[in-house]
Amino acid sequence: MESRGVWNEEEVAVYPPIKYKEWTLFPWPHWKEDTDKYLKLLKNFQSREDDILLCTVQKGGSHWVHEIVCMLVDQTTTYNNRGSSLDDVHLDTMTDFDSLEKETKRRIIHTHLPFQCIPSQHMEKKGKTIFVNRNPKDRHVSQYVFFKKMFGTPPDYSWDQYFQEMVINDTFMSGWFNYTREMVSAVEKYSNVIHVLFEDLKLNQTAEIKRIADFLEVPYTNKLINEIADKCEFDKLKTNKLDGTAEYAKDNKSTLFRKGIIGDWKNWFTVAQNEQFDEMYKREMKDVSMSFIYEDPSGK
Nearest by Cα to 201 from 178, 229, 180? 229
Mean pLDDT of the chain: 93
Query: With 50 as the cut, is the pLDDT of residue 4 above it?
Result: no
At residue 129, the pLDDT reads: 98
Model confidence pLDDT, tens digit, residues 160-217? 999 999 999 999 999 999 999 999 999 999 999 999 999 999 999 999 999 999 999 9
Give the model's pLDDT for residue 239. 85
Query: Which are the contacts of 5, defined by CB distance < 8 A and separation ≥ 6?
Result: none
Residue 113 to residue 92: CA distance in whole angstroms: 8
Residue burial 82-91, b: 16+ Cβ < 10 Å; e: rest: bebbbbbbbb
Q: Is 244 exposed, middle or buried (0-12, 13-18, 19+ CB in 10 A)?
A: middle
Asked if 53 contacts 118 with a C-beta cutoff of 8 angstroms, the reply is: yes
Tell me the per-residue pLDDT of 233-287, one tens digit each, with 9 for 90 and over.
Answer: 988 988 888 776 766 777 777 667 788 999 999 999 999 999 999 999 999 999 9
From the number of C-beta atoms within 10 Å of its C-beta (0-12, 13-18, 19+), residue 152 rates as: middle
